[in-house]
Structure 1
Amino acid sequence: MFNDLGILELVTLVVLAVLIFGPEKLPKVIQDVSRFVRKVRDFSESAKQDIRTELGPEFKDFEFEDLNPKTFLRKQLEGNEDFNELKELRSSFDLKKEMNDVADAVHGRETGSSVPSAAAASSVPAAVNGSPDLLKKQDKPDAGERPPYDSDAT
């Protein structure tokens, strides 16, 4: 309940309690508060037990913490083999390296590793069709030669 309560906050609460209730009434107030907390815990435990008995024997392993969506998903995904395979696939895939390889292939630079299959596949049809690769910078045409006509650019 008070997991993030530091020493300074605790001392401040004690000083405030002494100032508000006084040293004479403080032990009685602490007893009343502890009795109230105990009653609330007993009430919540009995309510949980009633719910478990009403749900029946098929829910005997039911925990109320499982109602938290994060806990529920964590428990469901722990036993799932597909999730483990996805984690392995994700760890083996380096998006930044793949993007750099594709950018190098587009700009015509040589890479240390092989060109990814997607970039290689996209450059193959241009060479097969005989059409020029529009992504590569072309040399300027001679003075008498007209520049190539690009119908998509007009």
Structure 2
Amino acid sequence: MFDVGLGEMAVLVVLALVIFGDRLPQVAGQAGRMLRQVRQMANSARSDLQEGLGPEFKDFDIADLHPKTFVRKHLLEDDDDHRPSRTNGRLFDDEPSYATTAGELDYDERPPFDSEAT
């Protein structure tokens, strides 16, 4: 889960028993109630945001704002509709003939990656 092994978990349980003693079930119950309330608050905030944005953003998801998700969705996703077509191996009609070389990558092909380069 959080990269915590069995031995580390046992130490945490023993430490919790020493610190809280007989009140451990009460503290665990309070922590569970607090976590439930935080989830409810987050869900209500999300629904309020979606209602406030209107029907245009009905498919809006907060997770889409995460930078990795945003880049993956908007920059790395293949869109066949927006892909320019090549004619005679060239992207544009006025492109010089020397611009197309034997080692050129296709539009959707990724270049090789050298981890030792930088």
Which TM-score tier does this pair reach, normalised by the shorter chain? Answer: 0.5 to 0.7
Counterpart of 2:60 (choices 59, 62, 70) is 62
How far did 1:87 drift?
4.2
97, 109, 118: which is aligned to 1:88? 109
Q: Which has the larger radius of gyration?
A: 1
Deviation sequence 1:13-52 (CA, Å, 0-9, x none): 1111100000x21111110111111101111110011001
Q: Which amino acid aligns with 2:11?
A: T
TM-score norm. by structure 2 comes to 0.66
**Alpha-carbon distance in structure 2 between the residues aligned to 1:48 and 1:37:** 17
Residue matched to 2:23: 25
Runs of 4+ in 1 over 2 A off after TM superposition: 2-6, 79-82
Q: CA deviation at 1:80?
A: 3.2
| Equivalent residues, number | 90
Whole-Å Cα distance in 1 between the matches of residues 49 and 29 of structure 2? Answer: 30
Task: Give the aligned residue type for 2:73.
Answer: K
Percent identical: 45
Partner Cα separation in structure 2 for residue 58 and residue 6 of structure 1: 46
Letter of the 2:17 partner, please give it.
V
Match of 2:86?
none
Q: Identify the structure with the greater helix proportion.
A: 1
Partners of 1:47 and 1:36 in 2: how far apart? 16
CA RMSD, aligned part only?
Answer: 2.5
Task: Report the TM-score when normalising by structure 1.
Answer: 0.51
The corresponding residue for 1:45 is 43
Could you say which residue in structure 1 is the equivalent of 2:94? none
Aligned counterparts of 2:18 and 2:34: Cα–Cα separation in 1: 22
Q: CA deviation at 1:89?
A: 6.0
The alpha-carbon distance between structure 1 residues 42 and 89, as it changes in their structure 2 partners (threshold 3 A), is closer
User: Which letter does structure 2 place at the counterpart of 1:90?
Assistant: P
Aligned-partner SS, 1:62: coil
**Tell me, which stretches of 5 or more residues in structure 1 are unaligned?**
96-154
d(CA) in 1 for partners of 2:10, 2:66 = 33
Shift of 1:58: 1.1
SS in 1 for 2:4: coil
Q: Structure 2: any 5+ residue segments left out of the alignment? A: 84-105
